[in-house]
């Protein structure tokens, strides 16, 4: 007999905080008409939530959230308990779904005090509609029973799941401990092109701006000072914690979002935000990430070979250095570091790791220095470390994804500003901005130029804005910074 498995990884939902509801059921468990009613009502509800937009969202979404709750109680039936998982993420739900059998379905939605958002509907490799079609009305005598989710997993999987939930919760917990003086590591990052970048977004009371690289909150602070509401995204829990503390005085005008800006559109839409007035990204790493030896970014200090901006990301620098094929290593060093000795360095790494795993920053720096004697001021490992960092964090992939989704998030007249620190990033931004700001395109084989279907913005800065002398004197890191800005038509 079919049964419904539902659960709950037990975590207390913070008062007024986010609560995730995860429902897991087996193929054939739901009577078709109930499921159809659920699907139709949910679609209608989501459309109304989208229509509600940002303005008036609180009241409307609160009502719709209640409606969704009622709906699930009615359509998915009593035995399904609410799963209160304060820090359960979409990724986590995806990982869970991947572990489950194909016949099982997972529906997750997030309830906040003012919104209810569908996060995922996953049915193995199938879409939910295919499954719905297969569900028949042949289950009237269903025996409903609530089963802890962990019972749907093998003991080893359950232990792993619980452990990962705990780790995620600890991270979320650390994030909210804004006034825990003792636990915060000092966060010293000098904001680059602060006035220029913020001015480009024209902050003012009532304007909603996204700081896609919150860091220590230097740009956000100026936006908030000028009256804007700011949504700050960062994948590094230490940065979020520092910014939360620094910007606490701005209360509800600041919203901090944990995640990768490659998913900015999804993250913000899940939070009920459909269109914003400006987006800023100050690409790259923050000074504390480099300065703290234990983060493993610096070849100057002994630390684990890590380099992950998001410490929960799956692949560290050590994983790449110790497992990638020699040709892949050489490509990384060449493409992301423009390192001319890429092949020789890759060969030496492979020789060395055959003797013992390469686990620390200085071990790798010494290996590189043994291939490439020091010339001039620059350490021979500079370019290789930059390359590995870019690969570990897939920085160019994330930038491309942000570029492709940014304009879609902006209101008409909204500004998109990006600060880059090296030529690979700047090239990507320049190319993309060029692509969307040309009214027409031309090809040699065409008799005349044609309208550009991607034309959607105008250049605010024809040439990139760079740091002035005063800033360069105070902060040498600003020397390679380039700010480019476009405005949505
Ligand atoms: C240069 S710092 C930003 C500093 C900030 N503007 C300030 O003034 O304090 C870059 C920040 O962006 C974050 N970051 C970089 N790439 C990211 C990505 N793909 N998604 C989310 N955060 C990212 C880093 O963790 C870091 O905290």
Q: CB of 7 within 8 A of CB of 23?
A: no
Calculate helix-pair angle for 57-75, 32-52, nearest 10 degrees: 180
Q: Say if residue 412 is exposed, middle or buried (CB neighbours under 10 Å; 0-12, 13-18, 19+).
A: exposed
CA distance to 23, 68, 96, 136, per residue, from 73 (Å) = 11, 9, 23, 21
pLDDT at 269: 87
- The residue ranking higher by pLDDT, 21 or 328, is 328
Measured by CA distance, the residue closest to atom 4 of ligand 1 is 215
314-392 folds as: DNA polymerase; domain 1 (1.10.150)
Residue 391 pLDDT exceeds 90: yes
Distance CA 155, CA 41 (A): 37
- Would you state the pLDDT for residue 56? 40
Tell which atom from ligand 1 comes closest to the C-alpha of 309: 25
Separation of alpha carbons 388 and 368, rounded Å: 13
pLDDT of residue 185: 58
Q: Is the pLDDT of residue 120 over 70?
A: no
The span from the CA of 448 to the CA of 332, in Å, is 41
The whole-number pLDDT of residue 483 equals 97
List every span in the chain annotated with CATH 3.40.50.150. 194-287+395-488
Q: SS3 for 28? A: coil
Residue among 274, 234, 270 nearest 254 (CA): 234
Backbone angles phi, psi at 374, to 5 degrees: -65, 130
Q: What is the pLDDT of residue 115?
A: 35
What tokens appear for 168 in the block? 């995620």
Q: Which residue has the higher pLDDT, 165 or 411?
A: 411
Atom of ligand 1 nearest to the CA of 216: 9
* Predicted confidence (pLDDT) at residue 123 exceeds the cutoff of 90: no
Verify whether ligand 1 is closer than 6 Å to residue 189 (CB atom). yes
Long-range contacts: 351-355, Cβ < 8 Å, 24+? 353/321, 353/322
Q: Which of 409, 386, 410 is nearest to 396 (CA)?
A: 386
171 lines ligand 1 (CB under 6 A): no
- Percent of the chain at pLDDT exceeding 90: 49
Report which of residues 68 and 116 the model is more confident about: 68
18 by Cβ neighbours in 10 Å (0-12 / 13-18 / 19+) ranks as buried
Residue 55 φ then ψ, to 5° = -65, 135
CA of 261 to the centre of ligand 1 (A): 9
Q: What is the mean pLDDT of the chain?
A: 74
Instruction: Please indicate whether residue 380, judged by its CB atom, sits closer than 6 Å to ligand 1.
Output: no
Q: Residue of the nearest CA to atom 26 in ligand 1?
A: 215
The CA distance from 61 to 192, in Å, is 38
Whose CA is closest to atom 8 on ligand 1? Answer: 218
Integer CA distances (angstroms), 187 to 44, 216, 231, 240, in order = 46, 7, 20, 11
Cα diameter, the chain: 80
Measured in whole angstroms, the distance separating CA 444 from the mean position of its chain's CA atoms is: 40
State residue 166 phi and psi, 5-degree precision: -60, -45
Q: CATH 1.10.150.170 region(s) of the chain?
A: 314-392
pLDDT at position 39 is: 58
Rounded-to-integer distance, Cα 131 and Cα 134, Å: 5
At CA 160, angle to CA 155 and CA 161, rounded to 5?
95
Is residue 281 within 8 Å of residue 213, measured between CB atoms? yes
The pLDDT of 306-321, averaged and rounded, is 92
For the ranges 23-37, 270-284, 287-301, the one whose mean pLDDT is highest: 270-284
How far apart are the C-alpha atoms of 392 and 186, rounded to whole Å?
A: 25
Examine the pLDDT at 55 and tell me if it is beyond 60. Answer: no
Alpha helices in 53-85 (DSSP H): 57-75
- Model pLDDT, residue 80: 29
Tokens of 376: 């001039």
pLDDT score recorded for residue 374: 72
Q: Poorest-confidence range of 158-172, 223-237, 359-373?
A: 158-172
- Comparing 197-201, 270-274, 337-341, the range with the smallest average pLDDT is 270-274
Q: What angle do CA 403, 408, 412 make, to 5 degrees?
A: 115
Question: Best-predicted range by mean pLDDT among 49-63, 129-143, 149-163, 419-433?
Answer: 419-433
Q: What is the model's pLDDT at position 136? A: 24
291: which 2 tokens?
């300065």
309 lines ligand 1 (CB under 6 A): yes
Q: Is 31 in contact with 185 (CB distance < 8 Å)?
A: no
Instruction: Give the integer Cα–Cα distance in Å for 413 and 59.
Output: 27
Q: For atom 14 of ligand 1, which residue has the closest CA?
A: 213
The number of the ligand 1 atom at minimal distance from the alpha carbon of 215 is: 27
Residue 44 is predicted with a pLDDT of 63
Q: Is 297 in the pocket of ligand 1 (CB under 6 A)?
A: no
The mean pLDDT value for 375-382 works out to: 81
Is residue 261 within 8 Å of 213, Cβ to Cβ?
A: yes
- Probe target for ligand 1 pocket from 190, 200, 234, 311, with the most ligand atoms within 8 Å of CB: 234
Give the confidence band of 112 by pLDDT, cuts at 50, 70, 90: very low
Predicted confidence band at 23 (pLDDT cuts at 50, 70, 90)?
low
Topology given in CATH for the domain delimited by 194-287+395-488: Rossmann fold (3.40.50)
Q: Which of 98-107, 176-185, 233-242 has the lowest mean pLDDT?
A: 176-185
More confident residue, 479 or 1: 479
pLDDT above 90 (res 169): no
Q: Output the six-digit token pair for 411.
A: 């209101």
pLDDT at 126 over 90: no
If you measure from the C-alpha of residue 309 to the centroid of ligand 1, how many angstroms do you get, rounded to a whole number?
Answer: 8
Closest ligand 1 atom to Cα of 211: 6
Q: How far is the CA of 335 from the centre of ligand 1 (A)?
A: 22
Average pLDDT over residues 34-53: 56
pLDDT at 6 exceeding the cut of 60: no
For residue 384, pLDDT beyond 80:
yes
Kindly state the percentage of the chain with pLDDT values over 70: 62
Is the beta carbon of 389 within 6 A of some atom in ligand 1?
no
Distance in angstroms (rounded) separating the CA atoms of residues 102 and 105 = 8
Which residue among 171, 195, 200, 215 is best mutated to probe the pocket of ligand 1, counting the most ligand atoms within 8 A of its Cβ?
215
Which has more pLDDT, 43 or 191? 191
Residue 284: predicted pLDDT: 87
Inform me whether the pLDDT recorded for 242 exceeds 70: yes
Residue 42: pLDDT band with limits 50, 70, 90 = low
The model's pLDDT over 139-158, given as tens digits with 9 standing for 90+, comes to 232 222 222 333 344 455 44
pLDDT above 50 for 404: yes
CA–CA separation, 26 vs 123, rounded Å?
A: 10
Take atom 20 of ligand 1 and give the residue whose Cα is closest: 260
**Helix axis angle, 361-371 relative to 382-392, nearest 10°?**
130
pLDDT of residue 63: 52
| pLDDT tens-digit map of 412-435 | 999 999 999 999 999 999 999 999
Report the C-alpha gap between 438 and 462 in whole angstroms: 12
Q: Which of 302, 153, 312 is nearest to 237 (CA)?
A: 312
């Amino acid at each position: 007999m079919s049964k419904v498995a539902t659960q709950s990884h037990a975590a207390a939902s913070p008062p007024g905080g986010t609560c995730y509801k995860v429902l897991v059921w087996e193929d054939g468990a739901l009577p078709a008409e109930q499921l159809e009613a659920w699907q139709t009502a949910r679609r209608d509800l989501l459309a109304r939530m989208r229509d509600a937009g940002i303005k008036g969202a609180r009241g409307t979404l609160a009502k719709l959230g209640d409606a969704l709750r009622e709906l699930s109680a009615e359509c998915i039936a009593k035995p399904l308990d609410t799963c209160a998982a304060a820090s359960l993420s979409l990724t986590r739900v995806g990982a869970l779904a991947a572990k489950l059998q194909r016949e099982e379905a997972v529906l997750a939605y997030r309830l906040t005090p003012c919104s209810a958002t569908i996060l995922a509907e996953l049915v193995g490799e199938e879409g939910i509609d295919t499954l719905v079609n297969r569900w028949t009305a042949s289950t009237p005598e269903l025996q409903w029973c609530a089963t802890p989710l962990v019972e749907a997993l093998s003991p080893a999987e359950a232990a792993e799941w619980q452990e990962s939930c705990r780790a995620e919760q600890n991270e979320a917990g650390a994030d909210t401990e804004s006034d825990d003086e003792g636990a915060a590591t000092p966060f010293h990052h000098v904001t680059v092109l602060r006035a220029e970048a913020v001015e480009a977004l024209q902050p003012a009371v009532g304007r909603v701006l996204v700081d896609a690289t919150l860091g220590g909150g230097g740009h956000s602070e100026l936006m908030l000072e000028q009256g804007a509401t700011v949504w700050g995204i960062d994948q590094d829990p230490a940065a979020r914690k520092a910014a939360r503390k620094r910007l606490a005085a701005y209360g509800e005008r600041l919203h901090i979002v944990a995640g990768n800006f490659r998913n900015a559109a999804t993250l913000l839409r899940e939070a009920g935000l459909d269109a914003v007035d400006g987006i800023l990204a100050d690409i790259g790493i923050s000074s504390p990430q480099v300065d703290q030896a234990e983060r493993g970014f610096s070849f100057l200090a002994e630390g684990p070979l890590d380099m992950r901006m998001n410490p929960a990301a799956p692949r560290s620098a050590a994983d790449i250095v110790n497992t990638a094929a020699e040709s892949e290593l050489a490509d990384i060093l060449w493409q992301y570091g423009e390192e001319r000795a890429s092949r020789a360095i890759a060969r030496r790494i492979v020789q060395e790791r055959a003797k013992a795993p390469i686990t620390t920053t200085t071990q790798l720096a010494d290996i590189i220095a043994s291939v490439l004697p020091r010339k001039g001021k620059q350490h021979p490992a500079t370019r290789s470390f930059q390359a590995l960092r870019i690969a570990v964090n897939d920085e160019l992939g994330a930038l491309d994804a942000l570029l492709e989704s940014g304009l879609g998030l902006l209101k008409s007249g909204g500004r998109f500003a990006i600060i880059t620190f090296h030529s690979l990033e700047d090239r990507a931004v320049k190319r993309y901005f060029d692509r969307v700001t040309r009214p027409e395109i031309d090809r040699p084989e065409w008799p005349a130029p044609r309208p550009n279907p991607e034309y959607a913005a105008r250049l605010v800065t024809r040439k990139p804005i760079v740091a002035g002398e005063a800033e360069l004197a105070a902060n040498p890191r600003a020397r390679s910074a380039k700010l480019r800005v476009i405005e949505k038509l």
